[in-house]
Structure 1
């Protein structure tokens, strides 16, 4: 009987599935007429060879409807919309004789008229049309247009005698068809000789010196793209060689052969023409010749206001520049002239103009500048007027956020920043910021906190100089066009009822510069941070997993009278007996390590590990570091989906303090560590490599990849890395199948509440695709882990011991939904533990691959 019922259920499921598929199929063709074909596929052939090239395929005017995993989601959403919702509503309203009268009596006639504009009647259809996609029905006029585009493309590649056709092939499924485009190329034309006809002698002289750099060369196949790039190269060359007014339209090429005639050699002669500038009165070349101009005078108008009276301006001559200003000059002359890359009597260069725009904008003191050039055509000289409109001297920024985390049930954060520009007259920018937050603890356990709220208060003073602030001149090494900046920051932060109630003080002196748009260097000469744990006795309340491990070892001694002082006396007999916090736990651990309590070697080793961790996380830290970061990013703009980014960082801490030991003798603690202000300073070397690459697979579909490697090695005065400089794994921007601090180290399984280590490897890959409108989706795979290496960790499961330890790399996979708000992206990712190295070998794969074990991550913008 059960078998019969099971068979009937299976048949019912199959029938339901077939019914759903049938409904989907009908919905797909809902708005395709009987004499029309839904386009399902385009195939392009060039000389019978299939072409797979996104740039060429983009020339095809009609493309099949987009799909999600093979399902035309946007098409079916569009089909849910009614074609004429107004007519449908009127038909429904008058279908029954008294319906309109009853509705008018119930709602009023005015409200009934509004019903047809409501979301239910019309708004829903408009919504589905907006996020959906109309069916792509084959239109032969657009198909022929595609053929003409393809012929034009191959014509631009030298196949001047190509021909094209198309074939519409009905598919096996009804009202569907594919289109095959076939282009017969023929033999391409080659460039034989290149002649020149340059009207201006000065341009001719400039061209001759760079002729070997031409992108149009003898023997090359004709390619219109190379001719366009050569026009751009020549335009840039001339405008950077003094010809300030050169126009790209002055350059054209003549092909000196009838390309419609097929010949055996298929060779062509090309003539480069560079004409004189045109005027409004004469559309042809005039007697005016392009000439090399030099800068006769450079005027800088500080505090410029549009429409103001220039007669009341005062002037100041400074290093071949003339500065005009009102009443009193608010800026140091050198601060203004250092931002100008034009020099008197020098040849005009367009590059100098671009650099001047960038540097003035980078000062953050002026609005986007206006640069004017007044020519003296008789002497080929220029007068440059640079108008600088100041920004407001003071501005205020306010931010307010609502947050949620595993520590806080709900929290509010606020910040305020006062910006003061041109503080000392040298275009310096001073930022004074204050921030604070208050939150409700998610765990109200009285032993964890005396209060139910967390609080944080901090502030920074940050001043930026538009130059390298050093006692010696660095202009020859780092010229001003590299946008050099020096930054000095001092700040503090106070936390209450978060962790051990930390207080931190930090100070940074850094320099950065950008040789080009894609390159950036940053040196933090001094990065000093002091971290003080206000409430170290709260360690076992905060790190409760660590306490549970210690208390489990102590359970065997809880009924022994000689150890009674280590344990509490519960008020309720049903409550468990536990170690007192902090004295009982600390004294028990110390007694075990002093061999005063008999435990197994394994238990003693675990107690030793717990005690070392307690000391490391409760000790105060003094970090006196320097670091260098190099970043290269070839992303052109926000819409560029095909780019890479590379970052390398080197950091060293404690070396300067260690070298000063012979000059200023330090005190030492019981562990023979050198102390500064009573605190052992950290000493380590740290390196990080981060590489990100994006590939645009097709229109709006992106494959993103990231790899990260980080290693911090303690030495000298340290046996481990400070917690604030160590690595963790998991979280919304890392391995999304684990929560932050949950993964690792190595194959250990959540031994600690906050797992961290000094070696990290992370690999991430994500496929991003559009779903409907601003809603996008992603599939991702995150791999990586953290390990201990070269420090005082003695748990072999947590230590990276060689290539065998790569077997501890965890793998998480999942999917995500994103909503694009243009300025930022809201992200929801669901991660599943695909390979968990913390489990037994036989249970590592897919044991956590279910919804109950899934990790949900909410984030802003893409993780990489």
Structure 2
């Protein structure tokens, strides 16, 4: 008999062995980090940056200028990679193992005064470029055998290493210079006229602190302005700034000169020319271009604004391509080129997109020079076949996420095969047929009797059709093509079977997707219909009958779900100039509300019934809101501090006083609170003292969860993480025999807290994750016994009385509480 809640558990004795092994490993590589240094060599222990006053200076940018950085730290304090490198040195350095240690390790960073001098020079240049013209930088060395005057406890360290130094940089910016005036001098009157009429909101310079970055951004902005006005050849190098700071009042006056191109005559004389303004004359589109078959384009279709040049067969509707091209006959506009690249790439039909321009025969009038545009499209293969396999535990929110192919069940192993056909109907559509299946440990009742760990089988086909436009009965011209609009229709059939539960689900969705900006994604799904047929085993039905809980009976009954939803996602990934990343996803979903309102309005008896049905089944009615926020901080050692806060609530309404099983929230699992298995935590402080089972009652209507994870590299392919998870699930209204499940203002007393350590095998294209979680605080235990270090006297007494009452002994008896490690396997990061 498999007891619920006992799978993947490692007892406290094994936990001790794990901690002992980790300690032995730490000691084994804990050799002295400076033992290989020469007589006059010092290991750089730390860089300190001190900025005088409170200037408007980004300290992170200054730190990036430091040329010598200390050896990387693991756990923020331990130079593991340096110690591994030292282990690979010695009298015999020829062995493969020692060579491997040196390769995965890191050479010691030895203090170099030359590098320090270069750092000081770069920092002073940085100050000058940001308006601190008289700023200075001073460096100093603190030897590790010296007492730090700012650290009272430094004299207490008798093992202070004399071969380490701390390098200190003191930055004294002084008063910054302010831009008093900015004047423009145009050598070409036409450019001056365009500039004055421009409606662009220019970057503010006057009255601001002098900053060369703002000047460079302004230069780019001015160049783009002219490129969008037909000046195809205009480059930012034609804009020069002259900065005058000779007035002695900490102000500068800037003169911007917009130069003309210079032509060199045969005799070597240089002559100023005027900038040429171009118009686009002809547009040629090659929809099946192949660089190795450039002479085979024999067919041409002439449209209103472009010509389609191709070789047979042409597998795309030629009228579709001009709708994806923003380039028009007339004045050359650089932004149209950018939008065309984005639009054509977003179709997902082409391996590459290239746009070239050719000059026509030069004219005498610089306002009428002509360009021809050539758009080369190299198509992808029309059919693709893929096979995917996964090891994963899924039970994060209990609700469908952005990936519509993800189900809500706790897979152990699963896989899928899929066949995709792009441009299915010659209008850019993508048709994808997939077949997926999986095995998982999924136990609903404590009477489950099986020797199979993977006791659950799930199987089903899925058909998805994506259109590269909105399917709406209105003109598409009302929507910006740059928003990459898509319409997606998906049909899914799913079978899930185990000893307790046989579930058949049919689902049809129809939705729209578009980008407001590259960071902002909108998803509207007006139609999301699910039909769920659930057949329960006798043991599970007997368990539900014994509980006599209408809430649970409705949850595990047949379901009809008529839902609509809206999802807004914001992503700000790590950029070149930032060490931060953001992610926020908001989802609002409602089901059954429109049908309930119409049913009440048109009821034959002109009164509201208690419930209404569709196809003989009481359909679900609820309103759900959830928010998933994540923040990432990265450092130069490929170490990441990842945080997440999830808050969700789903309120069942009058037609059905329970959420469907698929829409309920769950806690625990490899993507949630990892010290607990999926569906073994909550709701609230609820403890099922009638059976001590782990799964049947573990569903909720409210979920709050927070996670913090510190990720760092061990060796090239192996990463590690330390994490802290906290949260739980609750219900809005406490039902009979489910004490402690209701959400109230003291919800923090019901928070479960777990910590742990994980390893990740990084194979570039996917990551295999192993996490060991340990519960620090269990809210299901009695007060004063919830923390891991507290005695469990009262809880063990409850267990003892249960065993006596049910005549359980030996292996059949419920054991007293033991703090256990919970092992999780997953693919990819948990968040």
When the two structures are superposed, what TM-score results if normalisation uses the length of structure 2?
0.80
36, 39, 43: which one aligns with 2:48: 43
| Residue of structure 2 equivalent to 1:58 | 64
**What is the deviation of 1:79?**
0.5
Answering whether residue 764 of structure 2 is matched by residue 822 of structure 1, we say yes
Structure 2 vs 1, CA of residues 278 and 134 (structure 1 numbering), >3 Å: closer, same or farther? farther
Counterpart of 1:367 (choices 351, 369, 372) is 351
1:797 pairs with 2:803: no
Q: 1:63 to 1:308 in 2, by over 3 A?
A: closer
- State the 1:160 CA deviation: 3.0
Displacement after TM superposition at 1:454 (Å): 4.7
Residue 778 of structure 1 aligns with which residue?
Answer: 721
Q: Could you say what secondary structure the match of 2:655 adopts? A: coil
Taking a change above 3 Å as real, the CA distance of residues 332 and 847 of structure 1, as seen in their structure-2 partners, is same
Match of 1:369, SS state, is: strand
Task: Pick closer, same or farther for the CA change 1:525–1:265 going to 2, 3 Å.
Answer: same
| Counterpart position of 1:397 | 386
* Residue 29 of structure 1: aligned partner: 34
Once the two structures are overlaid, the 10-residue window that deviates more, 399-408 or 699-708, is 399-408
Moved more, 191-200 or 131-140: 191-200
Three-state SS of the structure 1 residue aligned to 2:378 is coil
Q: Secondary structure at the match of 2:320?
A: helix
Cα shift at 1:680: 1.5
Match of 1:298 among 283, 286, 290: 283
Q: Is the 8 A contact 1:202 1:291 kept in 2?
A: no
Contact kept in structure 2, 1:216 and 1:227, CA below 8 Å: no
Larger mean CA deviation between 150-159 and 481-490 belongs to 150-159
2:445·2:540 contact (CA, 8 Å) conserved in 1?
Answer: no
1:275 aligns with 2:280: no
Write out per-residue CA displacement over residues 351-404 of structure 1, whole angstroms, 9 at most, x where no aligned residue.
Answer: 222222222122222222111122345313332121222222222112345679
Residue correspondence of structure 1 range 682-701 to structure 2 within 5 A? 682-696=620-634, 699-701=637-639
CA distance in 2, matches of 1:654, 1:843: 43
Gapped regions of structure 1 (runs ≥ 5)? 1-18, 87-120, 551-585, 590-606
**1:201 and 2:189 are equivalent in the alignment:** yes
2:215 maps to what in 1? 227
Shift of 1:682: 0.9
**Aligned-partner Cα distance in 2 for 1:699–1:77:** 16
Q: How many residue pairs were aligned? A: 739
Note if contact 1:782-1:813 (Cα within 8 Å) is conserved in structure 2. yes
Deviations 1:394-450 (A, max 9, x none): 221123456799999997644221111222221111111122346799999996469
Correspondence for 2:327 = 342
Q: Which residue of 1 aligns with 2:230?
A: 242
Q: CA deviation at 1:686?
A: 1.0
How far the C-alpha of 1:485 sits from its partner, in A, is: 0.5
C-alpha separation in 2, matches of 1:617 and 1:71: 51
Structure 1 residues 275 and 774, CA gap change in structure 2 (3 angstroms): farther
SS in 1 for 2:109: coil
SS of 1:367's equivalent? strand
Pair 1:279–1:828, CA change in 2 (3 A)? farther
1:81 Cα deviation after fit: 0.9
The answer to whether the 8 A contact 1:42-1:63 is kept is: yes
Distance 2:443 2:554 in 1: 26
- In the TM superposition, what whole-angstrom CA distance separates every residue of 1:768-802 from its partner, at most 9, and x where no partner exists? 344444444333322211111158667341111x3
Instruction: Report the CA distance shift for 1:848/1:833 in structure 2 as closer, same or farther (over 3 A).
Output: farther
Please point out which of 140, 144, 166 is paired with 2:117: 144
1:859 corresponds to which residue?
826
Greater shift after overlay, 180-189 or 412-421?
180-189
Deviation at 1:25, TM superposition (A): 8.1
More divergent stretch after superposition (765-774 vs 744-753): 765-774
| Aligned residue number for residue 402 of structure 2 | none
Match of 2:682 in 1: 744
Distance in 1 (CA, whole Å) between partners of 2:652 and 2:29 is 62
- Matching of residue 831 in structure 1 with residue 782 in structure 2: no
1:832 to partner: Cα distance = 2.4
Distance 1:123 1:803, change over 3 A: same
Q: How does 1:800-811 map to 2 (within 5 A)?
A: 800=743, 802-811=744-753
Provide the alpha-carbon RMSD of the alignment: 3.8
1:546-695 matches, within 5 Å, as 547=543, 586=545, 589=546, 607-609=547-549, 612-613=551-552, 615-635=553-573, 641-661=579-599, 672-695=610-633
Preserved contact between residue 830 and residue 856 of structure 1 (Cα < 8 Å): yes
2:369 corresponds to: 380
Aligned 8 A contact 1:500 1:539 in 2? no
Give the C-alpha shift of residue 715 in structure 1. 1.4
Which one of the candidate residues 669, 677, 681 is aligned to 1:731? Answer: 669
Give 1:266's match in structure 2, choosing from 245, 250, 253. Answer: 250
- Residues of 2 paired with 1:387 and 1:777: CA distance? 45
Question: Which stretch of structure 1 is more off in the superposition, 755-764 or 701-710?
Answer: 701-710
1:818–1:280 distance in 2 versus 1, CA, 3 Å: farther
Highest RCO, 1 vs 2 (Cα 8 Å, sep ≥ 6)? 2
Structure index of larger Rg: 1
Greater mean deviation of Cα atoms: 148-157 or 319-328: 319-328
Name the CA distance, whole Å, in 2 between partners of 1:470 and 1:746. Answer: 45
Q: What does residue range 121-140 of structure 1 map to in structure 2 within 5 Å? A: 121-140=94-113
Whole-Å Cα distance in 2 between the matches of residues 677 and 756 of structure 1? 27
Residues 46-125 of structure 1 mapped to structure 2, 5 A cutoff: 46-47=51-52, 53-69=59-75, 70-82=77-89, 85=92, 121-125=94-98
Report deviation, 1:203: 2.8
In the alignment, is the contact (CA less than 8 A) between 1:458 and 1:491 conserved in 2? yes
Larger relative helix fraction: 1
Distance 2:703 2:251 in 1: 60
SS of aligned partner of 2:474: coil
User: How many angstroms does 1:732 deviate by?
Assistant: 1.5
**Contact 1:707–1:764, Cα closer than 8 Å, also in 2:** yes
1:167 paired with 2:117, answer no
In 2, the alpha carbon distance for the partners of 1:787 and 1:649 equals 19
Residue in structure 2 matched with residue 215 of structure 1 by the alignment: 203
Q: Note the C-alpha offset of 1:288.
A: 4.3
User: What is the SS of the residue equivalent to 2:379?
Assistant: coil
Deviation at 1:664, TM superposition (A): 8.4
**1:281–1:370 Cα change, 3 Å:** farther
Shift of the 166–792 alpha-carbon distance from structure 1 to 2, 3 Å rule, reads closer
Whether the 8 Å contact between 2:283 and 2:372 is mirrored in structure 1 is yes
Partners of 1:411 and 1:702 in 2: how far apart? 28
CA 1:142–1:148: 2 relative to 1, 3 Å: same
- Preserved CA contact (<8 Å) 1:200 1:291: no
Partner of residue 432, structure 1: 433
Using a 3 Å threshold, how does the CA distance of structure 1 residues 442 and 295 change in structure 2: closer, same or farther?
same
Instruction: Supply the distance in 2 between the matched residues of 1:369 and 1:445 (Cα, whole angstroms).
Output: 59
| Paired residue secondary structure (2:231) | coil
Contact between 1:832 and 1:848, CA under 8 Å: does it hold in 2? no
Please, which moves more after superposition, 285-294 or 465-474?
Answer: 285-294
Question: What is residue 555 of structure 1 aligned with on the other side?
Answer: none
Q: Does 1:762 align with 2:705?
A: yes
Distance 1:124 1:444, change over 3 A: farther
Cα distance, 1:183 vs structure 2: 4.2
TM-aligned CA distance change 1:416 to 1:777, over 3 Å: closer
In 2, distance between residues paired with 1:682 and 1:408? 20
The answer to whether the 8 A contact 1:408-1:442 is kept is no
Residue 231 of structure 1, CA deviation: 1.9
Matched, 1:536 2:536: yes
Q: Distance in 1 between matches of 2:103 and 2:27?
A: 25
Contact kept? 2:440, 2:457, Cα under 8 Å: yes
2: CA distance between counterparts of 1:684 and 1:444?
26
